[in-house]
Structure 1
């Protein structure tokens, strides 16, 4: 099924909300009374904040979440998912949408009162980062970004990424485990880390061939921590009348006002390549500024700077000295499990059972995620054109076949050459800091 439409509730949705209420109540075998009755849910849906999920605008509600803000606390008045759609993550998706809207009211925590044995508490709230207090039948979650930071975050072009971004990275087990242990664990559990003498990282470099997913991993770390993600794009700062170095300094000064943040600079080699002697290179002042910024970042708690580079050999040697970056971590080409997950995103559900995914996984070894996406789209486009151009009484088919995908892959030129892969493994030995 296609991704559901998630939007704010409208007046013409109220009847469908009643139908969803009836369906969820009928599926509740415990026959317990809900904390909030239907009349209160309907009143809150109109007066407070409510979001709904639909397969299409004319269909019934697949789910709904209703909440209200009371000073610094937000309360979940109703969270319902139709019994036919409880197998996926729709409940968490609705909670995310509700939380983002309630955060604008200045809440610091999002809370829910539920029976201790309610599957909502067990399956949805617990999985969405809420702390369950069974004796009180009370669940609470601290909103990752407070209202005071939201405006600044928007100005910086930052955002809070969905919690599922980490789990969406299929395969790449070694890379995920390395990032989990080196970055996520000490940053998410600083008290435990301090007890064992572990200093949470403040700055890291991700390096690897182009298109291997370094940006995806940086976003996944931010999602896992539930910290705001701010990408600093030097090319956009270059137009500042004061110059790139000044714009970079000002941007990081404003980022420092956030309570916490994952800050990402992609292709950092563009502003931190080897400095030449006399005369100075055009980027030398920017490199010097970045070298000053990193210690300032390291002095702040709840801050992680992630720099990504395709060409780690080109970085200025001063940047990679101990004391600036805690780790220099390699991100390589997707393994078989990762390629399987990538193909699973692009093969249409209608033909998934007929397509030989294992053959596609084998044929795409050595390709980047971007290469695989390009091959999948080429195959889909060709199959689509063939179906449209078929005679009206002919067989159009339901989608691209294994042969279509393999043909598209056979004409692809890999982004990463064997020489680049060889250099990557040499860089791991020479420059990696795991």
Structure 2
């Protein structure tokens, strides 16, 4: 019987690993782990190879995390199968990983794998009734430094579902933005070009920022908020800092970029001589077309005063959609109140009265009233009755008093202007 020997992986064994990888891919048992993961573990974790006449005929690659070890790759050339190579590779790999104090070593095989003798012979047990779940992490490790430098972050899943009510707005954003961006191949088959930029407009405090974050959460893309006021103090000036920021954003694979109160840097250009901000507006008008040429990213701008924007800013070709975000509907107001009413008091609160009485309130108005009610109830309990009198939290009357003392942010005139803006400027 021809002899073979087992040794640690060397950098010049990569070609042999590639050959084993391709051979496995050609068989019914396609590898579970990607080639990049296997090669990375060869260089950074644990790997052994079997050689005959200095030719790689087999390899085993493993990875350890705390007390758990995983077999990332095990393969033997067809000519050397059934000759104990796999068993010897597993034994050598286990010895190499032993100093990590592993309590368990696991292997995941495709259901088409026919040869499992090496695992059984080495003491592995086949676990029944198990399912394999896999999730692709959208933001890669190499992007995290750039993301941190930009002050961006990966938002938690579920923000989209936390927006109660506002069904019309949510459905519009889902259909126009999220679906084409999340399924670009499907969109392409229908001739749909995924959107690259969208403008959200509406009165102050209506949740435009919340929607921008929810879109990023729904797509599972990085979220970067650009603050013109912070860029303004950069030695390169606001225009130069804005340009540099978007150059860094181009290094990310997927990103939702958000600029709130964009009217600050894209106001109507007028006057002689030109104001200092005209150069910033010009720079932004140049940045948007370049940004639109990059796939897998979305620019979301928001404004409280859409009439103040430069006319060139909203032209077709820069923003795919101009979407109004208005005051919360009844379902949304109910959801917002539920968020701020303490759990211990929730059962005794007349929620429907609060929903009715806050028609015309923005989410920020409701939050203010809810916090005011909680603070007022706490002060009553502590200073008038004593802290231990059995009070469990605010009551309906506390909330109604706070609502009566809260002035709505959006006046009737502002509300009417918003409706006019929808007729004149919305692009859905």
- The reply to whether TM is greater than 0.5 is yes
| Secondary structure of 2:276's aligned partner | coil
Paired position in structure 2 for 1:215: 209
Q: Deviations over 1:52-110 (max 9, x none)?
A: xxxxxxxxxxxxxx9889889xxxxxxxxxxxxxxxxxxxxxxxxxxxxxxxxxxxxxx
Task: Say if 1:388 and 1:396, in contact at 8 Å, map to a contact too.
Answer: no
Q: Equivalent residue of 1:308, what SS?
A: strand
Query: Which residue matches 1:309?
Result: 303
The yes-or-no answer on 1:278 pairing with 2:277 is: no
Listed one character per residue, the Cα deviations across residues 289-348 of structure 1 (whole Å, up to 9, x for unaligned) are 000000011000001000000000000000011000000000000001000000001100
User: Could you tell me which residue of structure 2 aligns to residue 368 of structure 1?
Assistant: 362
Q: Could you tell me which residue of structure 2 aligns to residue 55 of structure 1? A: none
Say if 2:369 and 2:399, in contact at 8 Å, map to a contact too. Answer: yes
> Structure 1 residues 71, 276: closer, same or farther in 2, change over 3 A?
farther
User: Which one of 56, 65, 73 corresponds to residue 48 of structure 1?
Assistant: 65
The Cα offsets for residues 206-228 of structure 1, whole Å up to 9 and x where unpaired, read as 00000000000000000000000
Question: Which digits, 9 at most, give the CA deviation of each residue in 1:132-179, with x for residues without a partner?
Answer: xxx993221111100110111011000111111000111100000000
Contact 1:113 1:139 in 2 (8 A): no
Rate the CA distance shift 1:292–1:394 in 2: closer, same or farther, 3 A: closer
Alpha-carbon distance between aligned partners in 2 of 1:137 and 1:160, rounded to the nearest angstrom: 28
Of 257, 270, 290 in structure 2, the residue corresponding to residue 296 of structure 1 is 290
Q: Is the 8 A contact 2:288 2:318 kept in 1?
A: yes
State the match for 1:429 in structure 2. 423
Q: Which residue of 1 aligns with 2:350?
A: 356
1:215-263 Cα deviation digits (max 9, x unpaired): 0000000000000000000000000111100000000000001011000
Larger radius of gyration: 2
Shift of 1:426: 0.5
SS in 1 for 2:338: helix
For 1:418, the equivalent position in structure 2 comes to 412
- Name the SS of the counterpart of 1:139 in structure 2: coil
Structure 1: which 5+ runs fail to align?
A: 1-46, 50-65, 73-111, 117-134
Q: 1:70 to 1:216 in 2, by over 3 A?
A: farther
Distance 1:394 1:199 in 2: 63
Partner of 2:248: 254
Select which of 171, 174, 183 maps to 2:165.
171
Please state if 1:142 is matched with 2:159. no
Q: Which residue number corresponds to residue 398 of structure 2?
A: 404
Task: Give the number of aligned pairs.
Answer: 314
Q: Which residue of 2 aligns with 1:228?
A: 222
Question: TM-score, normalized by length of structure 1?
Answer: 0.69
Q: 1:69 to 1:206 in 2, by over 3 A?
A: farther
Query: Does the 8 Å CA contact 1:262/1:304 hold for their aligned counterparts?
Result: yes
Distance 1:269 1:376 in 2: 30
Per the TM alignment, residue 281 of structure 1 is displaced from its structure 2 partner at its CA by 1.6
Aligned mates of 1:220, 1:270 — CA distance in 2: 23
Question: SS where residue 135 of structure 2 aligns?
Answer: strand
- Counterpart Cα distance in 2 of 1:183 and 1:212: 19
Which residues in structure 2 correspond to 1:79-228 (within 5 Å)? 137-228=131-222
User: What is the SS of the residue equivalent to 1:405?
Assistant: helix
Distance 2:388 2:394 in 1: 16
Sort the Cα spacing of 1:401 and 1:68 in 2 relative to 1 into closer, same or farther, 3 A.
farther
Task: Evaluate the alpha carbon distance shift between residue 358 and residue 238 of structure 1 in structure 2; reply closer, same or farther with a 3 A threshold.
Answer: same
Q: Alpha carbons of 1:406 and 1:393: their partners in 2 closer, same or farther (altered >3 Å)? A: closer
SS in 1 for 2:139: coil
Determine helix, strand or coil for the equivalent of 2:370: helix
* Structure-2 residue corresponding to 1:95: none
C-alpha separation in 2, matches of 1:296 and 1:333: 34
Question: Is the Cα contact below 8 Å between 2:381 and 2:387 reproduced in 1?
Answer: no
Distance 1:430 1:361, change over 3 A: same
The 3 A distance-change label for structure 1 pair 393 and 213 is closer
Judging changes above 3 Å, is the alpha-carbon distance between structure 1 residues 221 and 69 closer, same or farther for their aligned structure 2 residues?
farther
* Structure 2 CA distance for aligned equivalents of residues 393 and 278 of structure 1: 65
Q: Determine the C-alpha separation between the residues in 1 that align with 2:387 and 2:171.
A: 53
**Residues 201, 305 of structure 2: 8 Å contact kept:** yes
How much has 1:355 moved relative to structure 2?
A: 0.1
Find the partner of 1:325 among 319, 331, 353. 319
